[in-house]
């Protein structure tokens, strides 16, 4: 799948449209390269396990799941940069991945996580000093670009522009979010397809699945991307939108026990 070029849709609201065009320009600067091609010791399974672990931690802490997309962006852009050598090990990958989560939470969540907590999640593999040293490499390695336009940020703008009823809007947002959270696990999609393209394809699928087959987005949707995303749509379709069962965010971070397959140690352990 070739890297997509942005298409600047005109939104009805002038302010939203100006912001949208700006985000489309920014997203190009936040795309990662095919770093696995030059990192022989790291593979898509390593990445899949870390993304699954990200979601486990974020859900446990009641953080926003959108933060996972942000820390994946940090991880992949850093691994695409000149700051990382080609002989990176799985331990190195794990440290960078955990530090990316630490930094993403620090910047984009209302509460920060102590580096001691992050180090503790490694099961003794990394120290606080390791996390902080990696952070000092990560920030300049990302050229201090720490606010990537996410797929859901594009989704919210498009859905608002569609002027749907509240009920339909919530259905579309829920179904779209499901597709995009699945897309984050797909290395090829996240390194070749722009967030705005993913957002439009997912919204189009969501609209079609609830009987809205035509919208102002239809003409600009990438059909190939839409087909890939459609596999993650629930079937049969839920009859009503649901809210998160996780409840409100916690004001303090409780102890988190990392174990089993989703422990970050599984990255080093898998064959």
CB-CB contact of 101 with 71 (8 Å): yes
CA nearest to 165, candidates 235, 197, 212: 212
Six-digit token pair at 118? 């992050």
- The pLDDT, as a whole number, for residue 79 is 96
Task: Report d(CA 167, CA 171) in Å as an integer.
Answer: 6
Task: Report d(CA 266, CA 124) in Å as an integer.
Answer: 14
Neighbours of 223 (CB within 10 A): 9
- The pLDDT, as a whole number, for residue 257 is 46
- The pLDDT, as a whole number, for residue 220 is 80
Neighbours of 237 (CB within 10 A): 13
- The pLDDT, as a whole number, for residue 250 is 35
- The pLDDT, as a whole number, for residue 253 is 39
Cα within 13 Å of Cα(62), Cβ side: 13
pLDDT < 70 regions, the chain: 1-13, 213-215, 234-271
């Amino acid at each position: 799948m070739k890297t997509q070029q942005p298409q600047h849709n005109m939104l009805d609201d002038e302010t939203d449209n100006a912001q949208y065009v700006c985000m489309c320009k920014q997203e190009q600067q936040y795309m990662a390269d095919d770093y696995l091609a030059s990192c022989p010791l790291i593979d898509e399974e390593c990445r899949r396990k870390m993304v699954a672990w990200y979601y486990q931690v974020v859900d446990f802490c009641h953080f926003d799941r959108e933060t996972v997309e942000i820390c994946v962006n940090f991880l992949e852009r850093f691994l695409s940069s000149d700051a990382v050598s080609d002989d990176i090990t799985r331990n190195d990958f794990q440290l960078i991945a955990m530090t990316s989560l630490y930094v993403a939470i620090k910047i984009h969540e209302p509460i920060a996580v102590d580096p001691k907590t992050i180090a503790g999640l490694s099961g003794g593999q990394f120290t606080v000093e390791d996390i902080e040293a990696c952070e000092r490499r990560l920030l300049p390695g990302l050229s201090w670009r720490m606010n990537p336009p996410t797929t859901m940020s594009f989704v919210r703008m498009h859905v608002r522009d569609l002027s749907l009823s509240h009920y339909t809007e919530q259905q579309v947002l829920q179904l779209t979010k499901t597709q995009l959270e699945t897309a984050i696990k797909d290395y090829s999609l996240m390194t070749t397809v722009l967030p705005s393209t993913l957002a439009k394809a997912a919204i189009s699928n969501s609209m079609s699945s609830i009987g809205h087959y035509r919208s102002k987005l239809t003409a600009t949707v990438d059909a190939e991307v839409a087909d890939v995303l459609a596999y993650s749509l629930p079937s049969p379709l839920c009859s009503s939108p649901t809210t998160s069962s996780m409840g409100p965010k916690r004001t303090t971070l409780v102890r988190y026990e990392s174990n089993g397959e989703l422990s970050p140690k599984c990255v080093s352990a898998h064959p």
